Amino acid sequence: MSRLKQAVKMLRYNFSSIAFFEIVYRVLSLAILTPAMYGLLNVSMDIAGVSYLSSGTIYRYMRSPITYVAFLLILILIAFFLLINLSGIIYSMEASVRREKLNPMDILLHGIGNACRSLTPKNLLTLGYVLFVLPFTYSLTLSGTLLGLKLPEFLTHFLKNYKFGVMGGLAIYLVLCLTFFKEIFTLNYFVLYKVNYKQARRMSKQAMKRHVLLMMIGVISLNLAIAVIAVLLEGAFAAGISKVVLNLIPNKTVVTVIDTIFRVATVILYVLIVIVATPLIHAYICAHFYEREGDMDYEEFKKLHVNKIQEREEKILLSRSRKKQRTFLASIVAFGLILNGCYVYLSTNNYMSFRIAYPTNASVTAHRGDAGNAPENTMPAFEKAVEAGADIIELDVRQTADGVYVIMHDESLNRTANVKRKVGEVDYDYISKLDVGSSYDRSYDGTRIPTLEEVLIFAKENDVFLNIELKPADTDQNYVQGIVDLLHEYDFVNQCMLGSQSVAALREAKELDPDISTLYIMTMAFGDFAGMQGIDGFSIKHTYISNNMVSRIHAKGKKIYAWTVNNESDIKDLLLLDVDGIITDDPANTKEVISNANDSIIEDWMKRLIYKY
C-alpha cells in the first residue's frame, strides 16, 4: 500500500501536465498511426499486385517480400508510439521525485527523444521489448495504443470451448510473466540513465533479484482493480441515467437518448483510463523502481548513479520561452485534431453505431437448409427451412461423372454418406442410392442426396429464393453452362443468386446471362473489392465485416451477406452494421432475434460495455 501511495503522490505532483500530455499523445497517435498503418497495407498490396484480400488472393499477398516489410514497419511504428508514451510518463515521474514542475511540452519532447534513441543500432531491440515483453509486465488491457486489441478469432474460440485451453493459456501467461517481470525496469534505466538497451536490461535484472513475485502480484492486482472499478463506474452511470430517461422521455425518443448516453459513457471511461489509469500503473512501477534502483552489485552502476544525481540537480529548461512553448504545443494539438477530423471523415467506428435502433430488414438465409435441425443439403433440411420462415435457402451444387447436378457441400462423399469417393468420380445412379440421413440422426435413415432439378421444383412450389453456391471441379464438363440452362428451363433466373469463391465461374455465368445475380463468397476480406466487375454482391465471413465495408459495398449499389452467424449478440451487431442478409444454421432463432431486436436494446448496450471492458 505504501508503494501505491507513493505512486499517487508522484502522479498528483505533475498530474495536469501528464493528463494533457496523454490527451495530446492519443490525438497524435490516432491522427498519424492508424492512417499510416492502413497506408502501408494498401501500398504493400499494390506492390504485390493484389487489389483486395480474400481467401483467393491472400496466398499471393503473403508470398510477396514487400508484405513482410510492411508488417515490420507497422510493428516499428506501434512500438515507437508506445515508447513515446512510456518514456514521457517515466520522465514525468522522475521530475515529480525531484519536485520539478513540468509542462506537457517537456514530457512530449522527452518522450519523442527517447523513442528516437531506440532507432539507433544498439537500441533497436528496445522496440521488440516494447511489443513483446511489456504486455507481460505492464498491462495489455490498459496500455494506450494497444487498448482494444483482441485475440485472433480462432484462439478466442479455443479458449471459450476448451477448459484445458484456458488453464494452459493462463499457465503459459504466468510463466512468461515470471520470466519477463525481472526486466520491468528496463525502460526506467533506458530513459533515466541514458544507457543502451542491453545495459538497461542487465540493470533491471540486477535490481529485481528476489522481488519478481511480489512485483508481479502488485502490478496484476492493480490492473484488475482498475478494470473492475472502470466497469462498475460506467455501468452504474449508464444504468442510472437510463432509468431516469425511461421514466421521463416518451418511447419514440428513448432509443436515441439511450444510444447517446452509452456513447458518452464510453468516451468518459476512455478519457478516465487515458488520464488516470495508464499513468497510475506506470507510476506504481516507478515507485518500485525508486525503491530498488540501487540494489545492484557491480561497479558500473556507481558511475551511472552519480551522473543521474548530478542531472537531477540541474534545472532542465527548454531553450524556448514559455510563450513559444504554449504556441508550439497548441500547433501540435491543432494539427492532430485536423488529421483526426480527416480520419474520422474517411473512416467509421466499427464498434459503436450512430443508429438509433436496429435495422431489422436483413433477410435470413438457411445455411444448407435448416442444417441445425435436419441433415444438411437434403430435402428435409429445405422443408424445415421453409417452415422456419427463412427468406432464402443456401445450397451447394456439384456435378457427377455423368453430368447430373446434385446438392452436396464437400467434394468427398465421406463425411455425410460414409463413402470414400468423390462426387465427380461416380455417376448419379450410384449417388442416388446413398444414405446421408443416418449419420445425422437415425430418424432420417434413407434420406437421399437431391438433384438441383428437384430443389428448383420445390422452391417454385414454395415460392422461396435460392442462394446457389457453385462448386466447380476440374473433372466437370460445362459446369456453369449446365446450371444456367437449368435456371432458364425452370424460369428461375429471377428467383435465385449464384454464389461462389470462384470469380471466373461467376463471371462466366454473368456472360451467359447478364440478368443472373452473382455473389462472391469471401472467407476473409480487406482492400478495394467493392467495385469488382461481374459481381452483384458479397458473402463475407461475419468477423471481417465493418461499418466502413458495408458503406463501400452499398455505395456501389451491391449487397453484403454475413456468414455463418448463430450467436444472438453477433446477429445484433450485424444488424447495426446494416448488412443485407444473415446466413445461419438456425433460421427460426435468427428470425426471432431480428423480430425482437429492439425490445432489448438497453440490455444489449449494457452487455456490450461489460464485454468490451
Positions marked catalytic? 367, 409
Q: Give me the residues paired with residue 367 across strands.
A: 394
**Strand pairing of 405-407 and 392-399?**
antiparallel
- Find all residues with CB under 8 Å of 186, minimum gap 6, and list them: 126, 129, 133, 197, 200, 201, 203, 204
Written as one string, the DSSP assignment of 69-138 is: HHHHHHHHHHHHHHHHHHHHHHHHHHHHHTT----HHHHHHHHHHHHHHTTSGGGTHHHHHHHHTGGGTT
Whether residue 507 contacts residue 488, with contact meaning beta carbons closer than 8 Å, is answered with: no
Q: Cell digits for 480?
A: 456453369
CA of 407: how far to CAs of 14, 380, 500, 566, in Å? Answer: 70, 13, 14, 23
Q: Residue 39 is which amino acid?
A: G
Whole-angstrom distance, CA of residue 352 vs CA of residue 296: 50
- Cα angle 370, 416, 165 (rounded to 5 degrees) comes to 80
CA of 559: how far to CAs of 109, 200, 369, 600, in Å? Answer: 49, 55, 21, 27
Q: Cell digits for 460?
A: 417454385
Whole-angstrom distance, CA of residue 320 vs CA of residue 331: 15
Residue position matching grid coordinates 445412379: 429
The candidate with the shortest Cα–Cα distance to 469, out of 376, 398, 399, is: 398
CA of 481: how far to CAs of 218, 452, 488, in Å? Answer: 69, 14, 11
**Strand pairing of 559-563 and 537-541?**
parallel
Written as one string, the DSSP assignment of 206-237 is: HHTTTTHHHHHHHHHHHHHHHHHHHHHHHHHH
The candidate with the shortest Cα–Cα distance to 297, out of 210, 168, 224, is: 210
Q: Which residues of 33-65 are buried (b: 16+ CB within 10 A; e: fewer)?
A: bebebeebbeebbeebebebbbebbbeebeebe
What one-character DSSP code corresponds to residue 422? B
> Angle 104-117/322-346 helices, nearest 10 degrees?
70
- Find all residues with CB under 8 Å of 391, minimum gap 6, and list them: 363, 364, 365, 465, 581
Q: Cell digits for 500?
A: 461462389
Whole-angstrom distance, CA of residue 47 vs CA of residue 528: 14
154: burial class by Cβ within 10 Å (0-12, 13-18, 19+)? exposed
The candidate with the shortest Cα–Cα distance to 339, out of 14, 18, 20, 39, is: 39
